[in-house]
Amino acid sequence: MRKEYDIEKLNPRKNPYSKRLKKTITINLNEDTINYFKNKSEQCGIPYQTLINLYLTDCAENNRELTITWH
């Protein structure tokens, strides 16, 4: 490995995935909801946090409206 590199000769490119980068947040979820996604993750072999992200992404991309009914 060289001690010095000529940065001007490098070919800098934008990260093609920069729009899809994830951001870490803190969210409070019901234990039943977490267990639901954990059970689904065991069935399909995808980590439960990834499943939650996929579900929320699908809702956002398809502009799904939330229907709430209080019991």
| Burial (0-12, 13-18, 19+ Cβ within 10 Å), 46 | middle
Q: Residue 8: its pLDDT value, please?
A: 75
- The mean pLDDT of the chain is 89
Q: Which residue has the higher pLDDT, 31 or 18?
A: 31
pLDDT at 40 over 70: yes
Tokens of 62: 């398809």
Residue 28 lies in a domain: no
- Residue 47: closest CA among 55, 59, 38: 38
pLDDT tens-digit readout, 43-71: 999 999 999 999 999 999 999 998 999 98
Kindly state whether residue 45 falls inside one of the protein's structural domains: yes
Total domain count, the chain: 1
Per-residue pLDDT band for 14 (boundaries 50, 70, 90) equals: confident
* Domain-located, residue 18: no
